[in-house]
């Protein structure tokens, strides 16, 4: 039995601050200014005040992170690892961006060695940025998923991914068929789902690039493996929405929304994650809530591709499960601190505020709930996997100067999300083991 | 006579890429992949291909920056040095943000020692981010301007600043009077304007915090010192605009716009810089063009305070002088690379594109023109002051990986503005002397 403890300021969420009246918002989290996190065999066994827990430590080694803040590792609810090398590609909106940059870049992932090299760089980048769990798009090539799973297994990372399904409206070199999609996904599920901390997501790219037959295959895979995830895109920008509705006009009932197309094929499960949703209306949000599916909010990507402003407050009012995502390469940063920075701006442009508590909840416990992983990660609940990050308030001269003026933990969190980047991540731990040190 | 040369890839602008048809856009800049920049006594004496200029070098020492990109130092056309310690303050829009955070923070600048300490940190931060010239708000206290000028003089920096004029609608501890505003500004102009590379800006905070009498004092100062600048705010958000129009309803002709108030007082000169202008309409832009004044575009600030989306393309079509600004502490980064990242998103949300060439022109020569300093800085024109930055394409692992896929200088510039931050600034030079090394 390996047992270790970490001394630092420690914060994690117990519930959603959005659900509480303002005066009781402090009930949403536990904060220990001089705290202790105890880890046994990779799991959290205790968290609380240092002074209270220290006497029971015995000869347990204590890692001293005083002056820093430990929070649960961030989750990234939608990211494309094959797009790491094309992050920040200029000028296009979604559909032309796919054709111009994305598809050519993804072609190279037919090659296992290339996929392995990028998978390694990608996972290193996640850890540099404090992200300990991600829901990841691979490419259409089974080997692309294999390469990512191999590396994540070595790191003992809690990660969900899957081979992409796409059989139309894309270059031939990126298309599978309903049959190969089924067979390859099935083989990958059998090999990887549940191995180490890995999990599988059936991953149709989006309704525009999968035929109705292939969407039925996706449903069949979910029926046969009901503990797998469904991961796809929805309603990112307006021309995409119009196109999808036209594409399925004969297949679905009149007036079916883009999201409704997925529902038509039975793809809205409790483990379904729909990325973007910028153009979803209230009826769509209500359908998401009813199916207990989740939406992944992708701030830097939505701004970079000019898709629009996600209706964050409305999504919260309708109480859908909401996760935070970078959407690299449509997004411009692997840092969830920077995603929160942009999320704040998106909410602000709509005349509202995203508090630091809501923000950090979203990046940790909220995203864990969106991924149906909150019984494993996203907070320091007893028995959860000990994935966490050590945030350094003195990471840069400006951060140090600004933090000196911060009064209280909420302002500190806000400064981290406004000024912080990968440098603010002093260390990242996976299951109690240090996987990244700055 | 001191003579030195710098070998690197070198880029600077000769004219505005916006003015050229797409096919001729390469005429807007000079790019030397293996270039040489020659500096004598702090001034640029030559720039071109290394192979061409090397034979004439003689025993001139050559600093080898091969593998890096030298561009002119960035200009920041609107920034508040006293707000450095409150950057990233949560939640408010402009007017309540001033009352809640800004005014209390500025109070401390009555103390010269405090002002000196923050001025030093601020100027260091500018240089870390590759900014070599800035138009800077101090506070109402004459000593705040003094502290900044002292430090900038020591650094030999090309910098414009001035004591703030504000005599109403602010806490008493931050108010001067028309009389003290005049006397203190006059004394500061006499002491600092034209000393070293320092220049003075008459700086009424905005029409809401200066009385008509004080705006007349500002005009009097400009009349007596026609080579000084005028620096103020305009039309940042909607409630501010409504308030200003109400405030001046009796003073100005019916229908006078917020900008028109400044014009009414004769404050729109060729050296007037108006920060923000998010809410300016076409008639306002046309007035800016007619008066040959300039607007400072503040991307991170406008998003952070939720002020709205600056009508960039319209401003370019009407051909006003436009500068780029961080507006720290309303802005969230000292990095003009990050300002460009956000500028791109603001333009994209309006269905348009900001090219990397337009962007880097804006941050260098465009801003120098906006500040009427293009005969001194902003490009490597013969005889200009040798202010420049050395950009490192390998500054972070992600930047290195992404740059390896970049084809050509334009894509490299775009990657710098999307993924770059202060780490991408390997060195910053003022008048040929290294003032910052990473």
B438 three-class SS: coil
Separation of alpha carbons B309 and B298, rounded Å: 10
B348 CB neighbours in chain A (<8 A) are 303-306
Whether residue B341 lies within 8 A of chain A, CB to CB, comes out as yes
Q: Where are the beta strands (DSSP E) in B254-338?
A: 272-276, 294-297, 321-324
Q: CB distance from A327 to chain B under 8 Å?
A: no
List of chain B residues whose C-beta atoms are within 8 Å of the C-beta of residue A355: 90-91
Find the CB nearest B419 among A88, A303, A398. Answer: A88
Nearest CA in chain B to A299: B345
Residue B154 CB: number of other CB atoms within 10 A? 11
pLDDT computed for residue B251 by the predictor: 93
Q: Are A306 and B348 inside 8 Å of each other by CB? A: yes
Q: How far is B132 from chain A (nearest CA, A)?
A: 18
Q: ipTM value of the model? A: 0.95
Whether the CA torsion B20, B26, B31, B32 is positive or negative: it is negative
Q: What is the pLDDT of residue A93?
A: 82
Name every chain A residue with its beta carbon within 8 A of the beta carbon of B411: 90
Would you state the pLDDT for residue B425? 98
Identity of the residue in B90, B309, B419 whose CB atom sits nearest the CB atom of A411? B90
* The token pair that represents A219 in the structure block: 């449903």
Can you tell me the distance from the alpha carbon of A186 to that of A209, in angstroms, rounded to the nearest whole number?
Answer: 20
Looking at the complex, does the CB of residue B16 fall below 8 Å from at least one CB of chain A?
Answer: no
Give pLDDT tens digits for A390-438: 999 999 999 999 999 898 999 999 999 999 999 999 999 999 999 999 9
Cβ atoms of residues B102 and B111 within 8 Å? no
Residues of B in contact with A85 (CB under 8 A): 401-402, 404-405
Distance CA A45, CA A59 (A): 16
Closest partner CB to B85 (pick from A87, A405, A411): A405
What is the pLDDT at residue A96?
86
pLDDT tens for the 438 residues of chain B, in order = 699 999 999 999 999 999 999 899 999 999 999 999 999 999 999 999 999 999 999 999 999 999 999 999 999 999 999 999 999 888 888 888 888 889 999 999 999 999 999 999 999 999 999 999 999 999 999 999 999 999 999 999 999 999 999 999 999 999 999 999 999 999 999 999 999 999 999 999 999 999 999 999 999 999 999 999 999 999 999 999 999 999 999 999 999 999 999 999 999 999 999 999 999 999 999 999 999 999 999 999 999 999 999 999 999 999 999 999 999 999 999 999 999 999 999 999 999 999 999 999 999 999 999 999 999 999 999 999 999 999 999 999 999 999 998 989 999 999 999 999 999 999 999 999 999 999
User: What pLDDT shows up at residue B1?
Assistant: 67
Whole-number percent of chain A with pLDDT over 70: 100
CA dihedral (A81, A83, A86, A87) in degrees, to 10, reads -70
User: For the whole prediction, is pTM greater than 0.80?
Assistant: yes
Mutation for testing the A interface, residue in B114, B125, B306 having most A CBs under 10 Å: B306
Contacts of B391 (CB under 8 A, 6+ apart): B68, B69, B70, B71, B130, B416, B420, B424, B425, B426
Q: How confident is the model at residue A1 (pLDDT cuts 50, 70, 90)?
A: low
| Mean of pLDDT values over A178-195 | 98
pLDDT band at residue A95, thresholds of 50, 70 and 90? confident
Upper half-sphere CA count for residue A306 (Cβ side, 13 Å) = 22
Torsion of CA B170, B173, B175, B181, to 10 degrees: -160
Are A332 and B348 an interchain contact pair (Cβ–Cβ within 8 Å)? no
What angle is formed at CA B101 by the lines to CA A424 and CA A71, rounded to 5 degrees?
25
Cβ of residue B419 closer than 8 Å to a chain A Cβ? yes
Q: Is B267 helix (H, G, I), strand (E, B) or coil?
A: coil
Residue with tokens 């025993």, as numbered in its chain: B59
pLDDT confidence of residue A100: 87
In DSSP terms, which residues pair with A162 in a beta bridge? A137
Tokens of A304: 């970079």
Decide if B348 and A304 are in contact by the 8 Å CB cutoff: yes
**A196 vs B: CB within 8 A:** no
Q: Is B97 exposed, middle or buried (0-12, 13-18, 19+ CB in 10 A)?
A: buried
Distance CA A268, CA A321 (A): 13
Out of A84, A353, A402, closest to residue B88 by CB: A402
Whether residue B12 contacts residue B72, with contact meaning beta carbons closer than 8 Å, is answered with yes
Cβ-defined contacts of B211-215 (< 8 Å, 24+): B211/B167, B211/B168, B211/B178, B212/B248, B212/B251, B212/B265, B213/B167, B213/B178, B214/B165, B214/B166, B214/B167, B214/B177, B214/B178, B214/B181, B215/B261, B215/B262, B215/B265, B215/B267
- The residue of chain B with its CA nearest to that of A415 is B88
- Choose the mutation target among A118, A345, A358, A359 for the interface with B, i.e. most B CBs under 10 Å: A345
The pLDDT of residue A179 is above 90: yes
- Beta-carbon separation of A84 and B308 below 8 A: no
**Nearest chain B alpha carbon to A416:** B88
Taking an 8 Å cut-off on Cβ atoms, the answer to whether B418 and A351 are in contact is: no
């Amino acid at each position: 039995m390996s047992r270790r403890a970490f001394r630092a300021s420690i914060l994690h969420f117990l519930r959603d601050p959005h659900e509480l009246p303002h005066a009781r918002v402090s009930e949403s989290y536990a904060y220990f200014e001089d705290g202790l996190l105890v880890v046994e065999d990779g799991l959290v066994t205790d968290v609380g005040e240092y002074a209270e827990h220290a006497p029971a430590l015995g000869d347990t080694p204590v890692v001293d992170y005083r002056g820093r803040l430990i929070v649960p590792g961030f989750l990234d609810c939608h990211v494309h690892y094959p797009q790491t090398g094309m992050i920040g590609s200029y000028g296009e909106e979604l559909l032309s961006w796919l054709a111009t940059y994305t598809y050519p870049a993804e072609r190279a992932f037919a090659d296992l060695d290339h996929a392995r090299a990028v998978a390694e760089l990608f996972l290193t980048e996640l850890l540099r940025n404090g992200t300990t769990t991600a829901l990841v798009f691979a490419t259409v090539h089974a080997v692309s998923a294999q390469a990512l799973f191999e590396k994540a297994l070595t790191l003992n990372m809690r990660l969900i991914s899957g081979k992409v399904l796409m059989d139309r409206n894309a270059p031939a070199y990126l298309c599978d068929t309903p049959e190969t999609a089924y067979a390859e996904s099935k083989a990958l599920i059998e090999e990887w789902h549940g191995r180490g901390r890995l999990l599988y997501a059936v991953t149709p790219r989006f309704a525009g690039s999968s035929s109705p037959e292939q969407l039925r295959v996706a449903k069949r895979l979910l029926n046969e493996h009901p503990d797998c995830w469904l991961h796809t895109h929805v309603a990112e920008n307006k021309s995409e929405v119009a196109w999808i509705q036209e594409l399925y006009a004969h297949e679905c009932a009149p007036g079916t929304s883009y999201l409704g197309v997925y529902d038509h094929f039975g793809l809205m499960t409790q483990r379904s994650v729909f990325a973007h949703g910028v153009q979803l209306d209230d009826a769509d949000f209500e359908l998401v809530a009813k199916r207990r599916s989740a939406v992944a909010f992708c701030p830097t990507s939505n701004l970079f591709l000019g898709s629009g402003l996600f209706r964050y407050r409305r999504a919260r009012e309708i109480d859908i499960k909401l996760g935070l995502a970078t959407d690299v390469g449509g997004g411009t940063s692997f840092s969830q601190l920077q995603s929160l920075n942009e999320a704040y701006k998106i909410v602000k442009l709509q005349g509202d505020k995203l508090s630091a508590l809501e923000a950090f909840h979203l990046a940790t416990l909220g995203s864990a709930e969106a991924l149906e992983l909150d019984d494993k990660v996203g907070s320091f609940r007893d028995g959860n996997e000990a994935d966490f990050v050590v945030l350094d308030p003195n990471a840069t001269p400006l951060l140090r100067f600004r933090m000196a003026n911060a009064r209280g933990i909420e302002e500190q969190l806000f400064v981290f999300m406004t000024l912080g980047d990968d440098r603010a991540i002093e260390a990242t731990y996976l299951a109690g083991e240090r996987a990244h040190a700055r």
